Structure 1
Amino acid sequence: MTNSAARPAGRREWIAFTVLLLPLLLVSMDVSVLYFAIPAITRELDPSATQQLWIFDSYAFALAGLLITMGSLGDRIGRRKLLLMGATAFGAASVCAAYATSAEMLIAARVLLGIGGATLMPSTLALVRNLFQDDGQRGRAIAIWSAAMAGGIALGSVMSGVLLNHFWWGSVFLVNVPAMLLLLALVPVLVPEFKDPAPGRFDVLGVPLSAAAVLPVVYGLKEIAAEGLEPLHATSVAVGLAFGYVFVRRQRTRDDAMIGRALFRGRGFGAGIALNTVAAFAMMGSAYFTTQYLQSVLGMGTLEAALWSLAPSFLVGVAAPVSAALARKTDRARVIAGGFALAAAGFALIGLVGSDSLWLLLTGAGLLACGIVTVMSLVSDMALGAAPAEKAGSAASLLETGQEFGGALGMAVLGSLGTAVYRSDLAGAEPAARETLGGAVATAGQLGGPAGQQLLALAREAFVHGMQYAAWGGAALLLAAALLAAALLRGPGATAVPPAGEPAGQGPALAA
């Protein structure tokens, strides 16, 4: 039900929200912006294989490792202040990345970009929680926020390709700078400051503990997805889980904890975090296959594949506001369960894809994206609304950390399932061809003639077979999540959200 006592947001709040979408789009685009730029970077900077890997991954690792810290810091020093600090760091790091003269300099700049992104992401979502006190308006805003995040990831690779057709590789980073300057100019005017009026001491030891809990798990899961279940990767996950246990124990026993116990008093908060993680699992697990299918099975160029991958995003733009409207008129738990069911149907369609089924793939991906964005927007709103307003930054950081875990786990589990089927189908092939579809494409090119064509056809069929198994596994998981959502969110008050608080130390919500 809508909180009728809350003051509805006006034009100024909605303009402020539009400004806050800028950092969200840029941070999400930076996940995929290097897809086209890496060949040019390789020619210019000559990175080693390990350095090339870190050029990609350093950004994501820095982002994931510092989300919890930055969310808690924003609650203490002010979310607007942290946002401005993050925008400054993000803009400066973008310039450093654009004009990097060595692989080491680019990796360092990508780490700084990740640190800046870790301040921007929870700050924007927490500010949305504070700007929109009316439940219905906040639901619409978070629906738009979720759609923009999903669209930004898809748009990053396309924008990269367009820029590189006209400019040098550094242009993919310089595009961040004007947006950050605009943010620095408008946020102090439009966005009020919000922070915890009584934050207590900052848990300094919690910073390395939280990073030690998150980074080994994310690293291990990413490596499992890429190379299979090796002892080193399993050990990395185990080490992260052990630090996670220590971190959670510390948070439960300290009054100045980074993640206070008050966050979990709201019935919908823990359920929202869990369901959001499952949604991210499905989103990234499906992307692992669809991007390879477009390029290596259908033989599309990178830019063409990126443009086709944008098609499901148009449906997402409709799904997010429709789901928010449905949640205002009916039981939110049913809409969330329905979102999971719709995403499961999308996975089921992908499970029917053959080696030449572009439109079936896009339809399945579109349904899956609509269902996932429906779930993510509603459970994010539910979790943020259930958290105390003064802890909105910590709540937002937990949501986004859960997304990082879910995405890495989705790629690892579904990717490993598909890879196992692929390797089984190509048991008698060359070792390089058995490892990955990309390896099979390279081997087929070296063989040439009928032998190469036959190997390529077999490899594509094997990849599609593995994708089908992974898709049906994803569909089963999402159907289970639909039942789980219906069970967890059943009953009065499960998905209710209390009114958002006033800015700390202020009276009206827009006191600058």
Structure 2
Amino acid sequence: MLPVLLVTIDNTVLNFALPSIAAELQPGPAMQLWLIDAYPLVLCSLLVAGGNFGDRFGRRRTLMIGLTGFAIASLGAALAPTAELLLVGRVLTGVFGAVILPATHSLLRNMFHVRAERRLAIAIWSTGFAAGAAIGPILGGWLVSIAGWPAVFLIAVPFAVVLLPAAPLLVSESRDPEPGPLDSLSILLSALTLAPLVAAIKHAADGGPDALSGALAVIGIAAGALFVRRMLTVTNPMLDLRLLRRSGFTGPILVNLVSIASLTGFLFFAAQHLQLVARLSALEAAWLLAPGALANIIAGLAVVKLVKVMRPSTAIAAGLLCSAAAYLLTAITSGSPVVAAICLAYILIGIGVGSAETLAGDMLMANIAPDKAGAASAMSETAYELGTVLGVTVFGGILTATYRSALVLPDGLTQVQADAARATLSGAHATAGALPATTADALMTAAGAAFDSGVLTTSTIGAVLMAAAATLALTTLRRETA
């Protein structure tokens, strides 16, 4: 669970560090989104390859290699003097994270063969998986407040110091006894499918559809078609796509995607509202979200008992409806003092994601053979990372577009200041620091109102999507049993 915590904390730890990074390194609005998205984008693109390497060369071995590289890359990110070098560090941590995650999930499948024991193990693993994303902002806010933004990357070092000597003693090695030949072309096609598609969605969300986003989408779709054809025709495919015919396999993958999208999409605007609209410090804002992280952990463990008296599909749907309720609460209270509402909404999302992720992970593992656990786990975690990217990109893109259209700037701003204020809420905040007090207050009031109008739109869409996902889970997974 420790490497899972490390990798997933990095998904969301920048939420509260981003304002500090923006103030010190001066990244533009597009670079700010890339600093958040680059890590899950690379992770998402390479998870299939990482899972295949674990199946082939040994999951414990690849876990230890990934941990070493992750710690070194994180140290480089902490020392980065520019936003561009920080982005390089985020990319490299994504590469090594793609080696770590599938190994952790597939090791459980091969260490616990009894369904009840495996469900509890996966519940603990899923708790680390979802709680890492929930704890990330809290840990990030605390570290930023006491040591500055580079500290959020240094947490990888103590993790590695503990894990590298302990893994050979506590974790048993496993691999696929008949992995087949190394399929470099399939690995390349899997990366060329995911990376361009996610980049196209991100680019379109940030600046609207254009020739670049269209070209990226075409590349991704073409590579995806070739990848699917290859997986269905080669003798020993690195990824058995026929598994997708099983609702008990495909359903949990979709649950992973929408659950984490609800979490990261919410955190994207919650962190900014608490710091830049409510004017709280990073630490104060982080502690307001602590109950949600605790709810995530409790729900992930409690749902193991709950499925003894409730069908898994019902419990998963109930978790997704909790996320829908969180977005609905945020939409209803947008435009008013919503600090308490954000705290309560995050508790609801913590309950929803914690319960849904645990059951989805157990259901997925029950539908695969132990020897292919790495590649199959990679499919699930690809959905998780894709959800992380989509949560920030889609929700963030909608929020940014609404903010820009709703912002009414006060008089007295230069063109440069107006452009910076329109770009992002943090840009408006930075611009206000160089203005006279009266104009600065007017700008921040207008920016806060525009931002909250974006929150209303984003939250309404989020509530509808989560309710639709709950309905889908209830209907497609109804035959799955505990």
| TM-score interval, normalised by the smaller of the two chains | 0.7 to 0.9
Match of residue 406 from structure 2: 425
2:448 corresponds in structure 1 to: 460
Residues 224, 301 of structure 1: CA spacing in aligned structure 2 closer, same or farther, 3 A cutoff?
farther
Q: Alpha carbons of 1:103 and 1:226: their partners in 2 closer, same or farther (altered >3 Å)? A: closer
Q: 2:217 is matched by which residue type in structure 1?
A: V
Please tell me the residue identity of whatever aligns with 1:178: P
| Segment of structure 1 superposing worse, 169-178 or 136-145 | 169-178
* Amino acid corresponding to residue 399 of structure 1 in structure 2: S
Tell whether 2:384 aligns with 1:365. Answer: no
Structure 1 length-normalised TM: 0.83
CA shift for structure 1 position 167: 5.4
1:5-24 matches, cutoff 5 A: 21-24=1-4
Further displaced range: 88-97 or 112-121: 88-97
Does residue 299 in structure 1 map to residue 266 in structure 2?
no
Cα distance in 2 for partners of 1:416, 1:164 equals 26
Among 467, 480, 499, the residue aligned to 2:468:
480
Match of 1:389 in 2: 370
Kindly tell me the number of residue pairs found equivalent between the two proteins. Answer: 473
Structure 1 alignment gaps of length 5 or more: 1-20, 497-512
Deviation at 1:287, TM superposition (A): 1.7
Q: Please tell me whether residue 59 in structure 1 is matched to residue 39 in structure 2.
A: yes
Q: 1:469 maps to what in 2?
A: 457
Q: Is the 8 A contact 1:217 1:237 kept in 2?
A: yes
Deviation at 1:469, TM superposition (A): 2.0
Matched, 1:377 2:362: no
Say which is worse superposed, 159-168 or 140-149, in terms of deviation.
159-168
**Contact persistence 1:75–1:393 (CA under 8 A):** yes
Aligned CA-pair RMSD: 3.0
Q: Give the match for residue 216 of structure 1.
A: 196
Counterpart amino acid of residue 232 in structure 1: L
Provide Cα deviations, 1:359-399, integer angstroms capped at 9, x if missing partner: 11211121122112211221121112211111111111111
Cα offsets for 1:42-63 (capped at 9, x unmatched): 999x797688876655533432
Alignment of 1:269-308 (within 5 A): 269-308=249-288
User: Could you tell me how far apart the structure 2 residues matched to 1:347 and 1:174 are?
Assistant: 33
The 5 A counterparts of 1:75-154 are: 75-98=55-78, 108-154=88-134
> Displacement of 1:414 after TM fit?
2.7
**What is aligned with 2:298?**
318
Any conservation in 1 of the 2:40–2:386 contact (CA below 8 Å)? no
User: What corresponds to 1:437 in structure 2?
Assistant: 425
Supply the AA of the counterpart residue of 1:461: A
For 2:367, give the aligned amino acid: A
Q: Percent identity?
A: 38
Aligned with 1:180: secondary structure? helix
More helix by share: 2
CA shift in 2, pair 1:428/1:301, >3 Å: closer
Tell me how far 1:333 sits from its aligned partner. 0.9
Contact 2:145 2:283 in 1 (8 A): no
Matching of residue 333 in structure 1 with residue 313 in structure 2: yes
Change (3 A) 1:391 1:262: farther
The change in CA–CA distance for 1:301 and 1:340 in structure 2 (over 3 A counts) is same
Q: Is the 8 A contact 1:74 1:82 kept in 2?
A: yes
Q: Is the 8 A contact 2:193 2:223 kept in 1?
A: yes
Normalized against structure 2, the TM-score is what? 0.87
8 Å CA contact 2:316–2:473 kept in 1: the answer is yes
- Please point out which of 387, 397, 417 is paired with 1:416: 397
Structure 1 position 87, deviation (Å): 2.1
Q: Which residue of 2 aligns with 1:5?
A: none
* Runs of 5+ consecutive residues of structure 2 not aligned to the other structure: 411-417
